[in-house]
Structure 1
Amino acid sequence: MSNNHSQIIVIMVPFPAQGHLNQLLHLSRLISAFNIPVHYVGTTIHNRQARTRLQGWDPKSISNIHFHEFHPPCFASPPPKPNSPLSHLQPCFDSTKHLRTPFATLLNNFSSVAKRVVVIHDSLMSSVVQGVASIQNAEAYVFHSVSAFTVFLHLWEEMGRPFPINVDMLKDVPSLEGCFTEEFKKFISDEYKCINFSSGRIFNTCRFIESPFLDLAGRQEISKNMKQWALGPFNPVVQSRNKCQNRHKCLEWLDKQAPNSVIFVSFGTTTSLSEDQIHELAIGLDKSNQKFIWVLRDADKGDIFTDDQEPMFKRHVDMLPKGYEENIQEKGLIVRDWAPQLEILGHSSTAGFMSHCGWNSCMESITMGVPILAWPMHSDQPRNTVLLTKFLKIGIVVKNWGMRNELVSAETVEKAIQKLMNSEEGSEIRERAAKVGDDVRKSGNSCLELDSFVAHVSR
């Protein structure tokens, strides 16, 4: 197949949000290992963001991954709002429509020199890559940045529930009410209408984790004969333990802690907590008497490189109980800059992950065998919580989605941590998470599915 590979070009088109950028950059590494040139397409800002925050490997070390940077018109980047997730990023999302013309030019250039151009695009960038339909030697594959469970339920509901499914599967599954702003719901709907020219679906998951839901998503009523591949986990499955000079300070702190003793707390890049919630969380972490690393940051702006850290730092200090950081010095560490999440989860001292349950974070946590304290904030996160806690049984619910508008008390935080770390049920969850992680790592990066996909595009 090597001769065919030299005539194939893959173009990655990620959506400009961290959990999306990250996943397709990791997939670029996996596909490039087959000696296939991969071209990662985005704005200058977001390509830089993807490279800057990448963990586990260096894109500079791989000669056949190439970055193409476009310059759309400037967009507003208002400050994030604690009670209106994603609304501040909508101008950034809307600006992606300006990428359609430069992408079409790039696609035409590649199609004139390659046997086949394979476009792998985020489901939320479908309108940008519509030009694929008019190029004879180009084909598109839609990448879903969320779980197969979430994708199946969404499509099944949108199609009017075309076949019955096990009643137990629907039990505890929340509706999508409150998950998206009206603007983002329309954005998603418009993008999904453009998927009809795609030749297949790609998921960052594996059959060991989501086999029943992949089978359901593959049924003809849902797939309409569209092929699908579960190529995950995309992220590296083994973390280096090298004591290099540039390691983040939190990793040095973790080195000094006992194995399986630290709770990692982080709610992703699209959520800002309110002052009251930060206060309650701080007290709950303290009272749990468990070591912890807490990433206390505001949500990303559309351009993360314009963030002014100083006002944010002062604001968060003012929100914490008086003298809090001095009092928890022996117990915890607060991180206010970008934290190396994959390395933290892969560290032997990390015992649990209090998370918003974004799918990128879920896959990293599953891969590293770390159980999740589930605190969904928006989007696919409430349904991911059900997958983790009900079906995989590797997590504990901290905040029920039905109580999303209520404050999570310090007592609730304390009890959830204690349950995970100091109860028989928690011990079983931790053991199960470790086994799932071990099994996923032993299976590698879904080698058979990846081989199948590469064989298909190299036909």
Structure 2
Amino acid sequence: MEKTSVHEKPTVVVIMVPFPAQGHLNQLLHLSRLISDHAVPVHYVGSATHNRQAKIRVQGWNPETISTIHFHDLPLPPFSTPPPNPNSPIKFPDHLQPTFDATAHLRKPLADLFKTLCTASQRVAIIHDSLMSFAAQESDNYTNAEAFAFHSVSAYAYLSFEWEALGGHSDKHLKVSDLPPLSSEGCFSNRFMEFMARQLPMMASCTGHIYNTCRTLEGDYLNILAHENVWAIGPMNPIVLGYGDSDSHARHTCLEWLDKQPEKSALYISFGTNTAISDEQITELATGLERSGQRFIWVVREADRGDIFSQVESEMKGSEVDEEYEKKIRGRGVIVRDWAPQLEILAHPSTGGFLSHCGWNSCIESMSMGVPIAAWPMHSDQPRNAMLVTDVLRIGVTVREWIRREEIVSAADVEGSVRKLMVSEEGKNVGRRAEELGVGIREAWLDGGCSHAELHSFIAHISRAV
């Protein structure tokens, strides 16, 4: 564990407690940068494996250049890291549950660090993922500490889940109920539902809530949450790339390919880090992309295991994404089998669309860059994010309705969705709205913008006199 040397008590220090899944690790590491920019020391805690994962995959800036971010590798007993099951009817990554369950072992070393920092600091703010709510209870033991829950989902998704849990009878969710009802059936495994249920009572210790969104994007839904002491500090990802010394890193070859393509002509395809897709579906997707006639970059890789350093990337043998397929699409399509620089791809002027699973991290990155989305949700909050994208914001098109989630999406449907987004009149209107929204989201971080103001408000809150 990294030692902290303190000669005089800092006014405030922050402890970040992320959940060990890529979209969660990433968002809280981005928030660490934003808070560190205000000269507030941040202590990012987790297992050595997941801290390493967070650092090597960060995009747009280099965490090694931020001296006020301190990484603490907390001990974690060995845990099982089974492979994903691409043929499961429920796409939730149940193979990661042993990793999620193992996080309970972080509580004791976290408590020890918390005690040290509370003694050495005037105030300690603990920002924990809502799925790591045991961390909030530690704040009850100290008068100079308080806890804040970080929600890695959209405000709309949060309210939608709550509205469903209340049986659709809450008046404060009228803006949610205006949309078609959406059930949580098929979104989670039973084991994960039980895991989430255990978090709720522990969140009672929280004094506030943080979302990776902004009022430009979800102002109506954030206003509904206003009584809960909410800060909307998003997008947390960099909106101007090349931050720190990231320019020193070698540029990915797919970006060199994008440099040669016409503006807004290429579709980016990625289903995130923990979605496993069957060979049959990959074949249909590959065929549909080829038939669409559109340029594309497609990330084809195995879903993450609990320890990404113990796995071998899948080459998808037996599917249509083989060397023969790559020959057929050469010049018009690029297959990426390793870690893709998603932020840089979305920010590139030649990228005109994103075929996405609609994880919130991917959604807000795409929105912040003004890129429209072809929505193909797989699990968790993704169906609700897809509805926000297509029905509320109208910056995307639907690839598959959630009610048809157990069906294989045919090559014809893939082709139709891709062409609708990229070359139809409807797609052009969707693209214009996405571009306009992107401008508004980026303006939220200008001096006086809503996200800029909310970050300053949060810093002032945690820095107030003890």
Q: Please report the TM-score for the alignment, with normalisation by the length of structure 2.
A: 0.93
Structure 2 Cα separation of the partners of residues 348 and 300 of structure 1: 29
Shift of 1:234: 0.3
Q: Does structure 2 retain, via aligned residues, the 8 Å contact 1:6–1:35?
A: no
The worse-fitting range, judged by mean Cα deviation, of 152-161 and 322-331 is: 152-161
User: Is 1:228 the equivalent of 2:235?
Assistant: no
CA displacement, residues 51-100 of structure 1 (integer Å, 9 cap, x when unaligned): 00000001111110000011211110101012242110000000000000
Q: Secondary structure at the match of 1:125?
A: coil
Q: Secondary structure at the match of 1:45?
A: helix
Name the aligned partner's letter for residue 134 of structure 1: N
Q: Does structure 1 retain, via aligned residues, the 8 Å contact 2:163–2:173?
A: no
Instruction: Return closer, same or farther for 1:441/1:167 CA change in 2, 3 Å cut-off.
Output: closer
Name the aligned partner's letter for residue 175 of structure 1: S
User: Is 1:116 the equivalent of 2:123?
Assistant: yes
Q: Secondary structure at the match of 2:459?
A: helix
User: Is 1:449 the equivalent of 2:454?
Assistant: yes
Q: Does structure 2 retain, via aligned residues, the 8 Å contact 1:151–1:217?
A: no
Structure 1 Cα separation of the partners of residues 270 and 317 of structure 2: 15
Structure 1 Cα separation of the partners of residues 178 and 359 of structure 2: 20
For residue 332 of structure 1, what is the aligned residue in structure 2?
A: 333
Q: Does structure 2 retain, via aligned residues, the 8 Å contact 1:172–1:386?
A: no
Structure 2 Cα separation of the partners of residues 268 and 421 of structure 1: 21
User: Is 1:171 the equivalent of 2:173?
Assistant: no
Name the aligned partner's letter for residue 78 of structure 1: P
Q: Does structure 1 retain, via aligned residues, the 8 Å contact 2:136–2:148?
A: no
CA displacement, residues 245-285 of structure 1 (integer Å, 9 cap, x when unaligned): 61111111111111100000000011011010000000000
Name the aligned partner's letter for residue 12 of structure 1: M
Instruction: Return closer, same or farther for 1:201/1:36 CA change in 2, 3 Å cut-off.
Output: same
Q: What is the aligned-residue identity percentage?
A: 51
Q: Does structure 2 retain, via aligned residues, the 8 Å contact 1:100–1:129?
A: no
User: Is 1:249 the equivalent of 2:253?
Assistant: yes
Shift of 1:392: 0.6
Name the aligned partner's letter for residue 112 of structure 1: T
Structure 1 Cα separation of the partners of residues 170 and 416 of structure 2: 41
Shift of 1:155: 2.5
CA displacement, residues 206-251 of structure 1 (integer Å, 9 cap, x when unaligned): 00000111111224xxxxxx31100111000112499766111111
Shift of 1:304: 0.3
Instruction: Return closer, same or farther for 1:322/1:63 CA change in 2, 3 Å cut-off.
Output: closer
Structure 2 Cα separation of the partners of residues 282 and 157 of structure 1: 36
Q: Extract structure 1 runs of 4+ deviating beyond 6 A.
A: none
Structure 2 Cα separation of the partners of residues 147 and 94 of structure 1: 24
Q: Please report the TM-score for the alignment, with normalisation by the length of structure 1.
A: 0.94
Paired residue total: 447
Shift of 1:167: 7.0
For residue 93 of structure 2, what is the aligned residue in structure 1?
A: 86
Q: Does structure 2 retain, via aligned residues, the 8 Å contact 1:357–1:381?
A: yes
Shift of 1:31: 0.4
User: Is 1:426 the equivalent of 2:427?
Assistant: yes
Gapped regions of structure 1 (runs ≥ 5)? 220-225
For residue 68 of structure 2, what is the aligned residue in structure 1?
A: 64
Instruction: Return closer, same or farther for 1:127/1:425 CA change in 2, 3 Å cut-off.
Output: same
Q: Does structure 1 retain, via aligned residues, the 8 Å contact 2:159–2:176?
A: no
Q: Secondary structure at the match of 1:194?
A: helix
For residue 134 of structure 2, what is the aligned residue in structure 1?
A: 127
Structure 2 Cα separation of the partners of residues 34 and 139 of structure 1: 19
Name the aligned partner's letter for residue 395 of structure 1: G
CA displacement, residues 378-415 of structure 1 (integer Å, 9 cap, x when unaligned): 00000000101111110001011000000001111111
The worse-fitting range, judged by mean Cα deviation, of 417-426 and 194-203 is: 417-426
For residue 213 of structure 1, what is the aligned residue in structure 2?
A: 221
Structure 2 Cα separation of the partners of residues 52 and 251 of structure 1: 19
Structure 2 Cα separation of the partners of residues 360 and 112 of structure 1: 35
Structure 2 Cα separation of the partners of residues 41 and 359 of structure 1: 22
For residue 144 of structure 1, what is the aligned residue in structure 2?
A: 151
Structure 1 Cα separation of the partners of residues 250 and 99 of structure 2: 32
The worse-fitting range, judged by mean Cα deviation, of 234-243 and 296-305 is: 234-243
For residue 183 of structure 1, what is the aligned residue in structure 2?
A: 191
For residue 95 of structure 1, what is the aligned residue in structure 2?
A: 102
The worse-fitting range, judged by mean Cα deviation, of 278-287 and 173-182 is: 173-182
Q: Secondary structure at the match of 1:175?
A: coil
Instruction: Return closer, same or farther for 1:7/1:389 CA change in 2, 3 Å cut-off.
Output: same
For residue 287 of structure 1, what is the aligned residue in structure 2?
A: 291
Instruction: Return closer, same or farther for 1:58/1:423 CA change in 2, 3 Å cut-off.
Output: same
User: Is 1:36 the equivalent of 2:43?
Assistant: no
Q: What's the C-alpha RMSD, in Å, of the aligned pairs?
A: 1.8
Shift of 1:127: 1.7
Structure 1 Cα separation of the partners of residues 165 and 21 of structure 2: 25
Q: Does structure 1 retain, via aligned residues, the 8 Å contact 2:111–2:138?
A: yes
Name the aligned partner's letter for residue 293 of structure 1: I
Name the aligned partner's letter for residue 162 of structure 1: S
For residue 308 of structure 1, what is the aligned residue in structure 2?
A: 312
Instruction: Return closer, same or farther for 1:118/1:99 CA change in 2, 3 Å cut-off.
Output: same
Q: Does structure 1 retain, via aligned residues, the 8 Å contact 2:353–2:373?
A: yes
Name the aligned partner's letter for residue 426 of structure 1: G
